[in-house]
């Protein structure tokens, strides 16, 4: 009789232990430990090297893209300022690095020599920084 009671209590204790552990295990899987953004932040630390450097230029915010669209880049060389506005290449006189807008005129390429055209293309490449999505670049950026 003592063996039957001991056997019964052992089975009951084993069943309770198994029941409690399965409930606690299921409860741990029910709740979300990390959100997708948390996992991304964690994995970003491990994979922080840029695999494709050309993707970096596409990583700009909407505000940055909007500001770049409204801005005009100007290059000053030899007291002359060069810029592109509305697909027209302009040149103007510059004093101490500041262009004088009254002297601005479109650049006429018909009367230019090959050397002047090469200089203009070099300036145009620098204005556009060789961006692949910018239609004004010739793609001949020097490294």
Confidence (pLDDT) at 27: 60
Instruction: Indicate if 60 and 123 belong to the same structural domain.
Output: yes
- The count of domains in the chain is 2
Instruction: Indicate if 39 and 76 belong to the same structural domain.
Output: no
Instruction: Indicate if 82 and 109 belong to the same structural domain.
Output: yes
Greatest Cα pair distance in the chain = 118
In a domain, 140, yes or no: no
* pTM of this structure: 0.45
Structural domain harbouring 28: 2-46
21-77 pLDDT, tens digit per residue, is: 877 666 655 566 677 888 788 777 777 655 555 555 556 678 877 877 777 888 888
């Amino acid at each position: 009789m003592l063996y039957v009671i001991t056997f019964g209590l052992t089975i009951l204790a084993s069943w309770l232990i198994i029941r409690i552990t399965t409930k606690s295990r299921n409860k741990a899987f029910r709740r979300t430990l990390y959100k997708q953004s948390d996992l991304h932040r964690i994995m970003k630390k491990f994979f922080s090297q840029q695999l494709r450097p050309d993707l970096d230029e596409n990583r700009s915010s909407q505000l940055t893209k909007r500001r770049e669209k409204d801005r005009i880049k100007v290059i000053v060389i030899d007291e002359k300022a060069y810029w592109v506005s509305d697909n027209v290449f302009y040149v103007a006189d510059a004093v101490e690095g500041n262009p004088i807008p009254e002297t601005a005129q479109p650049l006429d390429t018909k009367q230019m020599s090959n050397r002047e055209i090469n200089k203009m293309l070099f300036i145009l490449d620098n204005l556009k920084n060789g961006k692949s999505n910018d239609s004004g670049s010739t793609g001949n950026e020097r490294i």
